[in-house]
Amino acid sequence: MIDVTNLTKHYGRHIAVDDLSFTVRPGVVTAFLGPNGAGKTTTMRMILGLDRPTAGRALVNGRPFEQHRAPLREIGALIDAKGTHPGRPARDHLSALAATTGISKRRVGKVLDLVGLSEVADRRSGGFSLGMGQRLGIASALLGDPHTVMLDEPVNGLDPEGVLWIRNLLKSLAAEGRTVLVSSHLMSEMALTAEHFIIVGRGRLIADMSGSELTAMTEPTSVRVRSPHARQLRDLLAGDATDIAIRGHDLFDVVGVDADEIGARARSANLQLQELTPARASLEDIFIDLTKDAVDYHGATDSTNSTHKLENPR
Ligand SMILES: Nc1ncnc2c1ncn2[C@@H]1O[C@H](COP(=O)(O)OP(=O)(O)OP(=O)(O)O)[C@@H](O)[C@H]1O
């Protein structure tokens, strides 16, 4: 469990983390999302005691990280995958880490197997690809068999196979009952991995909720209707719909009339319905909408110009 309360970090006049409070619970993957510069790494560094908060506090399993007798058994973290000595083989790196932190040497072989590096464990890590380096960083994080795992942008620069591997690893760690916090600026990836989302922008909390709660923040954008009587149904709805888009001989999308109303009208006209599906914005659209004011640099094509409406933006 990670508890962050009123956490704040100033660098001179710049506020990197601004009065942030949230709890990361065990058993689900929690995504820590925000655009570049939102304060994710700074927050994670404060959770690990690597940076001192200007105000507030961060607790790992009930205590500040540095007050645990065996901190690496409490929380394993990947903050900078390049933090290994390039001349040292992966196995030696992990063995040294185990020896200096009182972790059994047997764990070294176990984590090398877990991350798929056993065959290259005696090669110098300096020759590792980006993906292999990430795997070694994750092996270091898991060495102490920790209750809580925290990874900063672990999928950055990985190939699709590496991305899939990390996704499955994170889910299995959470399924074992561990607390898993993983940062990213890519909602598209996290939507497939996480169940809970903590979204920050310019150091401030924007949202702290499950995927279904996030989705429920938007009004349905349209309703998809499939019926063998599509034409008659369209005629029935034409007066109230703001838009009707024909998608096929038996399929169309309606804007401006909700699914309950379409169902009621079809029933009273005795017209059969085969599909009635409200369409909502994707998690990625919602993320872009929520963080659009916190993005420092927009591209020439403004991806924030989405059409859905948030009911309850914070
Ligand atoms: N040591 C530092 N000195 C001064 N400013 C810093 C320092 N570390 C971070 N910052 C600033 O604090 C803000 C938050 O940075 P941070 O790296 O925590 O964001 P982030 O969400 O992890 O972003 P990214 O996704 O780009 O890694 C940024 O504006 C950054 O420039």
- pLDDT value for 46: 96
Nearest CA to ligand 1 atom 11: 16
Atom of ligand 1 at shortest distance to CA of 42? 18
Same domain, 49 and 162: yes
Q: What is the percent of the chain with per-residue pLDDT over 70, rounded to a whole number? A: 92
> What's the ipTM?
0.95
Alpha helices in 130-273 (DSSP H): 130-142, 160-175, 187-193, 211-216, 230-237, 259-268
Q: Which of 258, 281, 245, 198 is nearest to 28 (CA)?
A: 198
Judge whether 88 lies within some domain. yes
Judge whether 49 lies within some domain. yes
Does 42 sit in the ligand 1 pocket, CB within 6 Å?
yes
Give the span between the Cα atoms of 76 and 8, in whole angstroms. 23
Choose one of 210, 231, 247: the last residue of a domain: 210
Judge whether 287 lies within some domain. no
Same domain, 136 and 274: no
Same domain, 193 and 248: no
Q: Which of 10, 14, 52, 82 to mutate to test the pocket of ligand 1 (most atoms within 8 A of CB)?
A: 14
- pLDDT value for 85: 67
- In angstroms, how far is CA 93 from the centroid of its own chain? 29
User: Over 50: is that where the pLDDT of 159 sits?
Assistant: yes
Does 39 sit in the ligand 1 pocket, CB within 6 Å?
yes
pLDDT tens digits, one per residue of 250-262: 999 999 999 999 9
Same domain, 74 and 165: yes
CA of 51 to the centre of ligand 1 (A): 12
Does 80 sit in the ligand 1 pocket, CB within 6 Å?
no
Same domain, 272 and 174: no
Helices (H) and strands (E) in the chain, counts: 11, 13
Same domain, 232 and 105: no
**Angle at alpha carbon of residue 80, lines to 77 and 81, rounded to 5°:** 90
Give the span between the Cα atoms of 183 and 90, in whole angstroms. 24
Does 60 sit in the ligand 1 pocket, CB within 6 Å?
no
**Max mean pLDDT range (127-131, 208-212, 303-307):** 208-212
User: Over 90: is that where the pLDDT of 112 sits?
Assistant: yes
Judge whether 257 lies within some domain. yes
Nearest CA to ligand 1 atom 31: 37
Does 11 sit in the ligand 1 pocket, CB within 6 Å?
yes
Same domain, 169 and 140: yes
| Residue 228 domain boundaries | 222-279
Does 16 sit in the ligand 1 pocket, CB within 6 Å?
yes
Choose one of 159, 182, 210: the last residue of a domain: 210
Computed over every residue of the chain, the mean pLDDT equals: 89
Judge whether 80 lies within some domain. yes
CA of 91 to the centre of ligand 1 (A): 32
**Mean pLDDT on 60-74:** 91
- pLDDT value for 89: 87
Q: Which of 166, 6, 167, 173 is nearest to 76 (CA)?
A: 173
pLDDT tens digits, one per residue of 131-146: 888 899 999 999 999 9
Q: Considering only residues 218 and 145, tell me which one the structure prediction assigns the higher pLDDT.
A: 145
- pLDDT value for 142: 95
Atom of ligand 1 at shortest distance to CA of 38? 21
- CATH code at 89? 3.40.50.300
The count of structural domains within the chain is 2
Global confidence as pTM = 0.82
- CATH code at 264? 3.30.70
Does 17 sit in the ligand 1 pocket, CB within 6 Å?
no
Same domain, 196 and 233: no
Same domain, 113 and 237: no
CA of 41 to the centre of ligand 1 (A): 7
Judge whether 9 lies within some domain. yes
CA of 59 to the centre of ligand 1 (A): 21
Judge whether 314 lies within some domain. no
Judge whether 308 lies within some domain. no
Same domain, 229 and 173: no
Does 34 sit in the ligand 1 pocket, CB within 6 Å?
yes
